[in-house]
Amino acid sequence: MYAIIINDVVKKFNNRIVLSNINLKIEKGIVYSFLGPNGAGKTTLLSIIAGLLKPDHGKVLINETLEPYSIEAKKALSYCPQEPALYDKMTGLENIMFYARLYGLNDREAYRRAKELLELVGLWNEANKLVGRYSGGMKKRLNIAISLINDPEILLLDEPTTGLDPIVRRTIWGLIEKWKTEGKTIVLATHYMEEADNLSNKVAIINEGKVIVEGTPKELKEKYGPKSIVSIEVEKPSPDQEKLRDALKDFSTIVYISNNTINIHTNDPDKYVPSIVNKLYSIGYNLLSLKISKPTLEDVFIRLTGRRLE
Ligand SMILES: Nc1ncnc2c1ncn2[C@@H]1O[C@H](COP(=O)(O)OP(=O)(O)OP(=O)(O)O)[C@@H](O)[C@H]1O
Ligand SMILES: [Mg+2]
């Protein structure tokens, strides 16, 4: 059974195509990630699934039969937007109770549900504070709590952990795992490859409005990633990346620099690491550390698009 079927969806803004012929089927009870860089079309796709935007072509079905903008779909599904939609001049509790009333709960039920959800996201102690005084991370958590009011079987989370500190991020990841074990279907948009990798049963990598590949994180890394990544921390990477690529071209498929680290995709680290090290010394680099690791989803993305994700 599919929670969401996306059938040949096209979306244009001002005649510019931002989603082009998207076809995806999302099984019930899994965590599914849309992974892609800024502007890839993730929010647009989630908004179409949530019934907030209509596609120019194609259609989406919820639970195989429901139109996304139908009342039945709205009962089954909830969307937590990328930008928190909250009232600054109301407290956290008032905000969540306001939304609970919109869902038709009476005052008593709304209070009970609000308390339960604020406790879940660790905000009960801040419930009576004005939201205008909340930190960005607190607003994000309140927004997630609000999206749970109707106890949705399908939860769409748009960048749930962007801007959160690592501890709060792990708390949110823990909640997502818990909802999965309860049988909910979670679709999340993210540009954090560890988030997609750690949480998802399946990932669609989206770039410039197209799904470039879809599969389990393991499948994608095995199929599209290099065998290994050699990461070498150096004192000062030269800004001349072309020169570096040229020097390493016999040992690597892709070379990119992040901070002070030169990352080298290679299919035979045992054979090439000594040559890589020698070569880097010979062109004047001082090496500080060296690590050989398995590819990540970001390496898959770089391999397929030539760009970095984050
Ligand atoms: N209402 C709109 N009017 C015009 N263009 C839009 C509108 N909403 C989105 N776009 C454009 O559509 C493209 C996809 O945007 P979208 O917000 O879906 O990307 P995203 O993958 O969610 O990016 P991010 O990671 O930055 O949130 C972008 O080029 C964006 O500028
Ligand atoms: Mg977005």
Residue nearest to ligand 1 atom 25, measured at CA = 38
Q: What percent of the chain has pLDDT over 70?
A: 100
**pLDDT for the residue numbered 218:** 96
Query: For the chain, which residues make up each domain, given as ranges?
Result: 2-222, 226-294
Biggest CA-to-CA distance, the chain: 74
**pLDDT for the residue numbered 240:** 78
* Residue 247 CA, ligand 1 centroid: distance in Å: 39
**pLDDT for the residue numbered 309:** 76
Whether the predicted pLDDT of 259 surpasses 90: no
Q: Are 32 and 176 in contact (CB under 8 A)?
A: no
**pLDDT for the residue numbered 81:** 94
**pLDDT for the residue numbered 206:** 96
The ligand placed nearest to the CA atom of residue 39 is: 1
Which of 191-202 are b and which e, b meaning 16 or more Cβ less than 10 Å from the residue's Cβ?
bbbebbbebbeb
pLDDT band at 243 (very low <50, low <70, confident <90, very high): confident
* Residue 25 CA, ligand 2 centroid: distance in Å: 20
Pocket test for ligand 1, best of 34, 44, 46, 208 (most atoms within 8 A of CB): 44
**pLDDT for the residue numbered 140:** 92
The CA radius of gyration of the chain, in Å to the nearest whole number, is 22
CATH of domain 226-294: 3.30.70.260
84 residue type, one letter = P
Distance between CA atoms of residues 310 and 221, nearest Å = 18
Residue nearest to ligand 1 atom 14, measured at CA = 41
* Residue 39 CA, ligand 1 centroid: distance in Å: 5
* Residue 40 CA, ligand 1 centroid: distance in Å: 7
Cα dihedral 86, 89, 91, 95 in deg (nearest 10): -30
The ligand placed nearest to the CA atom of residue 208 is: 1
Q: What percent of the chain has pLDDT over 90?
A: 80
Enumerate residues lining ligand 1, CB below 6 A: 13-14, 18, 36, 38-44, 82, 191
Residue nearest to ligand 1 atom 1, measured at CA = 13
Query: What spatial distance separates the first Cα and last Cα of the chain, rounded to whole Å?
Result: 34
CA 216 to chain centre: 14
Token readout for 247 is: 């020097």
* Residue 85 CA, ligand 2 centroid: distance in Å: 14
Q: Where are any strands of DSSP class E within the chain?
A: 2-13, 16-27, 31-35, 57-62, 77-80, 154-158, 185-190, 202-207, 210-215, 228-234, 254-258, 261-266, 287-293
Residue nearest to ligand 1 atom 2, measured at CA = 13
Whether the predicted pLDDT of 237 surpasses 80: no
CATH of domain 2-222: 3.40.50.300
For the entire predicted model, the pTM comes to 0.92
pLDDT band at 208 (very low <50, low <70, confident <90, very high): very high
**pLDDT for the residue numbered 257:** 87
Whether the predicted pLDDT of 122 surpasses 90: yes
The ligand placed nearest to the CA atom of residue 36 is: 1
Give the model confidence (pLDDT) of 209-222 as tens digits: 999 999 999 999 99
* Residue 17 CA, ligand 1 centroid: distance in Å: 11
In this structure, what DSSP letter does residue 66 have?
Answer: B
**pLDDT for the residue numbered 239:** 72
Give the model confidence (pLDDT) of 262-295 as tens digits: 999 998 889 999 999 999 988 888 899 999 999 9
**pLDDT for the residue numbered 241:** 80
| pLDDT, the chain, mean | 94
